[in-house]
């Protein structure tokens, strides 16, 4: 893949996702400070994913027909509108509307960019390298968004935090001129009747989607519980944002090394090791009382989970017909976000009964048990 094209795509997704991650840190923290309980916060977090569940497959087909530019523009408009609504009137109902718009817009941008990378990258080694850089950009967005939102919230207030994060995706529009639109031409993309669920009949693809669903659930557990724990312990928003940002920084760092490791190990082996490591960190996380210790666990979790996305995307590309990769990416987004809808609400309910420690340990048991699916990916 041409280096300039890869930089453009990585930057687009980084800027779009930074708004989402900043909103997902600031919105529940603000809701807690308004006096709303954990169930309301869990519902708010779930709304960031609701629209992606319903938009993913239509967005994937739309990207196959229209390429990159038009979907990215529509997605950015949705993201900016969501942030702007939350900034103008930061109360729970408008935060919910902003969550739906921001999540849906980010899902469209993500599908368009990931499809573009898969179509341009080429061979398996180039796929792993390209998706590693794309995943590195996503990890950096998990640093940029929460840190910007946390600092702005502490210094200028919640409206400034939402406005600053909403401005980030606008920079991505400057990267669209010169980008290549790759559409599925009629000769290369035979018409496939019905919906995309016939891809589910591939057992390896089915296992891979289950793995990525579990990993997304672990991500959401972490995002949900860090503001809750931080608020309980009286930590300022900038510190909470830094703890969340430490996760993103560690994920970005490990993804820079992923191509070197992937040259010596198969994708399934990296997934298996990372899932076991995630289970161990989840067992230790709630035992850490201080901000520094929480930050250390966040870094370790970033190391374990950060290595998984390039491997998932590389396998997804290898297991899917080329002309249907956009649909496969959309299925992954949809399955992930089904988890992201349910997990925050389940965390809110379970947290009120079991506490944060029980939720962390439950998530660790699930991801540890699901690591067997990665072993099956390595079985001929």
Which CATH superfamily includes the segment(s) 3-174+200-377? MFS general substrate transporter like domains (1.20.1250.20)
Residues 26-70: tens digit of each pLDDT: 898 888 888 887 778 878 888 888 888 888 888 888 887 888 888
Instruction: Answer whether residue 337 shows pLDDT above 60.
Output: yes
Mean pLDDT of 245-273: 77
Instruction: Answer whether residue 331 shows pLDDT above 50.
Output: yes
Mean pLDDT of 75-89: 93
Q: How far apart are CA 51 and CA 44, in angstroms?
A: 13
**Banded pLDDT at 189 (limits 50, 70, 90):** very low
Instruction: Answer whether residue 276 shows pLDDT above 80.
Output: yes
CB count, 10 Å around CB of 171? 15
pLDDT value of residue 258: 67
Q: What is the 3-state secondary structure (H, E, C) of the chain?
A: CCHHHHHHHHHHHHHHHHHHHHHHHHHHHHHHHCCCCHHHHHHHHHHHHHHHHHHHHHHHHHHHHHCCHHHHHHHHHHHHHHHHHHHHCCCHHHHHHHHHHHHHHHHHHHHHHHHHHHHHHCCHHHHHHHHHHHHHHHHHHHHHHHHHHHHHHHHHCHHHHHHHHHHHHHHHHCCCCCCCCCCCCCCCCCCCCCCHHHHHHCHHHHHHHHHHHHHHHHHHHHHHHHHHHHHHCCCCHHHHHHHHHHHHHHHHHHHHHHHHHHCCCCHHHHHHHHHHHHHHHHHHHHHCCCHHHHHHHHHHHHHHHHCHHHHHHHHHHHHCCHHHHHHHHHHHHHHHHHHHHHHHHHHHHHHHHHHHHHHHHHHHHHHHHHHHHHHHHCCC
Q: Which residue has the higher pLDDT, 344 or 277?
A: 277
**What are the b/e assignments for 49-67, b being 16+ CB within 10 Å?**
bbbbbebbbebbbbbbeeb
Residues 118-135: tens digit of each pLDDT: 777 666 667 777 777 887
**Banded pLDDT at 240 (limits 50, 70, 90):** confident
Mean pLDDT of 312-335: 79
Nearest to 356 by CA among 263, 248, 235, 231: 231
pTM for this predicted structure: 0.72
Whole-number percent of the chain with pLDDT over 90: 18
pLDDT value of residue 125: 63
Alpha-carbon distances, residue 107 vs 74, 112, 113, 332 (angstroms)? 11, 9, 10, 11
Alpha-carbon distances, residue 372 vs 207, 226, 274, 314 (angstroms)? 10, 28, 12, 19
Residues 153-188: tens digit of each pLDDT: 888 888 999 999 999 898 888 877 766 666 654 334
Q: What is the mean pLDDT of the chain?
A: 81
pLDDT value of residue 376: 83
pLDDT value of residue 254: 83
Q: Which residue has the higher pLDDT, 204 or 101?
A: 101
């Amino acid at each position: 893949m041409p280096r300039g094209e890869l930089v453009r795509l990585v930057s687009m997704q980084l800027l779009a996702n930074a708004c989402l991650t900043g909103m997902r840190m600031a919105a529940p923290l603000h809701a807690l400070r308004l006096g709303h309980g954990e169930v309301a916060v869990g519902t708010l977090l779930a709304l960031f994913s609701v629209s992606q569940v319903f938009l993913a497959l239509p967005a994937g087909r739309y990207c196959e027909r229209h390429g990159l530019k038009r979907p990215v523009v529509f997605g950015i408009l949705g993201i900016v509108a969501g942030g702007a609504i939350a900034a103008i009137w930061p109360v729970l109902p408008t935060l919910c509307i902003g969550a739906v718009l921001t999540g849906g817009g980010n899902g469209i941008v993500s599908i368009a960019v990931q499809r573009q990378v898969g179509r341009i990258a080429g061979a398996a080694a180039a796929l792993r390298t390209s998706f590693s850089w794309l995943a590195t950009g996503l990890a950096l967005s998990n640093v940029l968004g929460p840190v910007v939102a946390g600092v702005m919230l502490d210094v200028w207030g919640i409206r400034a935090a939402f406005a600053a994060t909403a401005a980030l995706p606008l920079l991505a529009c400057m990267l669209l001129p010169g980008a290549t639109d790759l559409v599925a031409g009629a000769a290369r993309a035979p018409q496939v009747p019905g919906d995309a669920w016939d891809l589910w009949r591939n057992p390896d693809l089915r296992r891979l989607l289950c793995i990525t669903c579990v990993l997304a659930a672990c991500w959401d557990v972490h995002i949900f519980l860090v503001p809750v724990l931080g608020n309980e312990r009286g930590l300022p928003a900038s510190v909470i944002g830094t703890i969340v940002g430490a996760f993103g920084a560690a994920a970005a760092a490990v993804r820079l090394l992923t191509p070197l490791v992937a040259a010596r190990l198969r994708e399934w082996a990296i997934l298996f090791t990372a899932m076991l490591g995630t289970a161990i960190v989840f067992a230790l996380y709630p035992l850490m009382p201080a901000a520094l210790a929480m930050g250390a666990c966040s870094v370790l979790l970033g190391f374990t989970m950060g290595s998984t996305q390039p491997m998932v995307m590389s396998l997804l590309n290898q297991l899917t017909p080329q002309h249907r990769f956009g649909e496969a990416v959309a299925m992954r987004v949809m399955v992930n976000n089904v988890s992201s809808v349910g997990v925050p609400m389940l965390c809110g309910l379970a947290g009120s009964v079991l506490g944060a420690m029980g939720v962390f340990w439950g998530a660790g048991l699930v991801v540890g048990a699901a690591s067997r699916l990665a072993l099956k990916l390595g079985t001929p």
